[in-house]
Amino acid sequence: MSIWTRTRRNIVLATASTAIFASSALSAGVQAPKDDALKVMQLPIRTDGPKSLDPVVGSTTYDNMACAQFYETLLTNKYASPMEMEPLLLSEMPITQDGGTTWHFKLKPEVYFQDNACFPDGKGRLITSDDVFYSIKRLADEKYKLKNWWLLDHTILGFNEYKDIQNAADQFDYDAPVEGFRKINNTEFEIVLEKPVYRFLYILSMFQTSVVSHEAVEFYGENFARNPVGTGPFILDTWVPKQSMTADRNPNYHAVFYPERSEWSKVDKRNRLHRAAGKQVPFVDRIEFTMFAEDQPMWLEFSKGKLGFSQVPEDYFTEAFDLASKELTEEYLRKGIRYHSNMLLDFTFRGFNMEDEILGGYTPDKIALRRAISYAIDLDEINKTFYNGRQIVYDGPIPPGLEGHPENHRADAAARGPNLSKAKKLLAEAGYPNGEGLPPIRFLTSQSAINNAVGEMVKRQLAEVNIKFEPVYLDFSTLIENINKKKAPMFGFAWASDYPDAENNLALFYGPNESPGSNHYNYKRPEYDALYEKILTMGPSDERTAIYEQMRDMVLDDCAYVGGMARERFYLINPWLRNCKPTERYYGWFKYLDVDDDARN
């Protein structure tokens, strides 16, 4: 175990004993002595937190949550209305005059990288057009395992050719030109696409395209993933992997202001979310994150007033809310606690590795086996038992609210359970009559009380058709590592759409995106891939929606997963945390939060 400590001028790797001491102090709620005048905000990260602080290799929600405090993207979501985008490192929204092939960008003035030892005299410098090109080029470098290459594959003119040439060379040359990168000056540039790609601007709001400096990457080398140097509102202080992370306010943060009063809804104004309108952010001097692999300690810390907000774990929903009205109980209202809820663009599933010897493949017998498993699983029972029936069970990978989602959440192509007679019939067609000869199904998912309980229910459901089910519970980062290496025959987690377009979810089954890319199922079907490549250039239309539905049903016919389910997320907010409107659309919103120490218990 190690603790990474960061100052402006140096990085210190402390001893294991120090790390253990630091971890124990945090878990006991003990804070290091601080100047009473400083505003310190304590927040949770559910699960064991990020694996890396290098945006180009990040993929999970928790990588995103951490990186967004230190790095920034050209575009971002609005805090008051998260489904809309606005400039962040740009002075204005990108402009196109040829229908979306050529985009013109203008960087915001006076944006500096954070002070750091990687720069001369430790002083951060202005960001430039070259920094944007450099940061995007890193996605093409095989050194970073091309984990997020799928975001820009066959998008920017000449970028695929650049990737192939540089990775075949003795040394990757970041100074080599890319045809589609056109520098006008240090603050203006153009990006030319192979053809108009509807999602392109969305990609520029994703944390994987954050702007980094070549000085930091070169200075820290292999340790860059633990030493973020960006333009963000906070600077890393310490990181104890899987336990805690602290960050201090960036004193040289560029001018970003809290949303104006006119941007907030009437409900938001009733929650006084508009009161900081027009003020420069960030408001707090320090953030202290604690990772919670288990829900109980997070809930206890929140209940003691030691965390600003908390997602409401399912096991504790009825403690905080009246089940019928979904309103807070009197006990919580008396404490001054308020709640906020979001319907997530959510795809919760149990996926099959289509390259697995037993569960993978596209022959009729292999498809029959996966559909037998799907018919034996009762998602409605899981929903009613563990989620009080509040989740939406639906067919296909496209969540409710997006074009291509099936009417009434049902699609004819789906093997929706429970239907035990069909499951038994298909099991025989797969060559395993009455389950005979079928090895146990090894299923990997993240460790939590609710996942453990759901795993046992699925085990019991599958046993009804004599399918043996072996759940394996891992911390989240280990789970993703196994999936990325194609070591999980069957696996489960949730995918939150990166942007509000079903193309993002359909990309999960595009062949070239196979693991360690976003296609964790390693699903490969040429006709599906051809349709995916077609929709990339299409804007919203009835024709595009019809193709979305066709692609949805292909995946359902092949039964690449069991699901899905969309969650409504509930958050509780302690009275001392101000300006809090939790969203999972993006994670750059922590800079808008403030604390009122007089309101703490």
Domain ranges of the chain: 346-566
Average pLDDT over residues 120-127: 98
| C-alpha torsion sign, points 261, 501, 504, 133 | negative
pLDDT digits (tens, 9 = 90+) for 16-47: 333 333 333 333 333 443 456 899 999 999 98
Tell me 116's DSSP state. Answer: -
| pLDDT band at residue 4 using 50, 70 and 90 as cut-offs | low
pLDDT digits (tens, 9 = 90+) for 404-462: 999 999 999 999 999 999 999 999 999 999 999 999 999 999 988 889 999 999 999 99
Check whether 572 has a pLDDT greater than 60: yes
Calculate the average pLDDT of the chain: 93
Contact of 363 with 371, CB cutoff 8 Å: no
> Pick from 107, 108, 86, 101: which is nearest to 183 by CA?
107
Q: Which residue has the tokens 């970003």?
A: 256
Three-point CA angle 340, 569, 247, nearest 5°: 75
Confidence at residue 553, expressed as pLDDT on a 0 to 100 scale: 98
Q: Could you tell me what percent of the chain has a pLDDT over 70? A: 94
* Residue 76, beta-bridge partner list: 86
Contact of 535 with 547, CB cutoff 8 Å: yes
Check whether 9 has a pLDDT greater than 90: no
Q: Give the tokens for residue 203.
A: 């990609």
CB-CB neighbours of 237 under 10 Å: 16
pLDDT digits (tens, 9 = 90+) for 455-505: 999 999 999 999 999 999 999 889 999 999 999 999 999 998 989 999 999
Rounded distance, CA 109 to CA 127, Å? 9
Rounded distance, CA 71 to CA 88, Å? 11
| pLDDT band at residue 15 using 50, 70 and 90 as cut-offs | very low
Rounded distance, CA 574 to CA 336, Å? 7
The domain made up of 346-566 has a fold known as Dipeptide-binding Protein; domain 3 (3.10.105)
